[in-house]
Homo-oligomer: A and B are copies of this chain.
């Protein structure tokens, strides 16, 4: 699954970094975080031990780079999705849809990041809070736009966006653990739920 764009010029440091992250994703997926050795990532990436340690001083730093990569991708997908929409509630809807789509498309990555990451303890918990905050900060902006446009009544946008991020996070973790409910089912229930919650009346789908 080529989640990281691969370039064909291996001497480019960014390309090398991406090869390493691609390889790390494969090895973490196959063996789990704890049983992965950095040497296996070196081998799989067809780079050198020196390159890997140059970019990433430890297994944990490789892992955290993957989390950042996923968070960047999530943010990029959300921002791309909202660009096609008018400001306001359409953007809120697009952001939620893009978020769940991203998890749905990258389940393997989501599983590693959400489930195996638990083994990293507080370091990861802080990282997870950071990713959730980034997502909820985006949603907060779109919610405030919708309020400014008079599409929904004024609200405590900080609490609401945090609640939404938590709801999505919790459902995605459940899906990743148990395979159910899947992102389509989450989306079809959650989207009207959240939008109605802030006082926006959608047409029933």
Chain A interface (Cβ < 8 Å from any Cβ of B) = 115-116, 118-122, 124-125, 129, 132, 155-156, 158-160, 162-171, 173-174, 177, 181, 185-186, 188-190, 193-194, 196-199
Contact = CB atoms under 8 A, between A and B. Distances in A.
A129 B122 CA distance: 17
- Tell me whether chain A's interface is mostly helix, strand or loop, or mixed: helix
Contacts of A197: 193-194, 196-197
Contacts of A194: 197
A178 to B, nearest CB: 9
Contacts of A163: 167-168, 170-171, 189-190, 193
Nearest to A119: B121
A185 B156 contact: yes
